[in-house]
Amino acid sequence: MSKGSGSAMRAENVADGAPDTVDPAVEALVQDIIGKVADRWTMLVLEALEEHGTLRFTQLGRIVSGISQKMLTQTVRRMEEDGLVTRTVHPVIPPHVDYALTPLGSSLSEAFCGVWVWAEKHRDEIEQARRRFSEASGKPRPA
């Protein structure tokens, strides 16, 4: 999933009228971002921080119930790397680390909210479609 995002290729000038010309670099980056954000844990951490503001490691782990330390660390690190969250270490005993969304992280949360709203709005249609599909295929309902 980690594709060559290091490319300095710039093609923001999509001033043409052709809608079918999607820049490969942009497309790659978008896929990369989506891939990360759509991750089960990343999404939940994003939400948790959007809701509660600053949180500690353990707090985060409690809110995102079910996540392992490994995944929490990994998720949070990647989000930090992408500039979505800030990681503040207080050098005291016992250790104390705070996590918070950056403006970039907040804006992503907001942007992704559109898809969230869509899913919520159309979940009935989706379930209907699934049922219709199961009916037509003669297959039993998958879980």
Partner DNA sequence: CCGTATCCTGTCCGATACTG
Partner DNA sequence: CAGTATCGGACAGGATACGG
Binding site for DNA (CB under 7 A): 1-4, 6, 39-41, 56-59, 66-71, 73, 76-77, 87, 89, 94-97
How near is the Cβ of 131 to a second copy at its closest, in Å? 9
Integer Cα distance of 85 and 1 in angstroms = 20
Of 59 and 93, the one with the shorter C-beta distance to a second copy is 59
Integer Cα distance of 40 and 36 in angstroms = 9
How near is the Cβ of 81 to DNA at its closest, in Å? 12
How near is the Cβ of 119 to DNA at its closest, in Å? 19
Residue 71 Cα distances to 44, 55, 90, 99, 139, angstroms: 12, 16, 22, 15, 35
Of 45 and 108, the one with the shorter C-beta distance to DNA is 45
Of 16 and 94, the one with the shorter C-beta distance to a second copy is 16
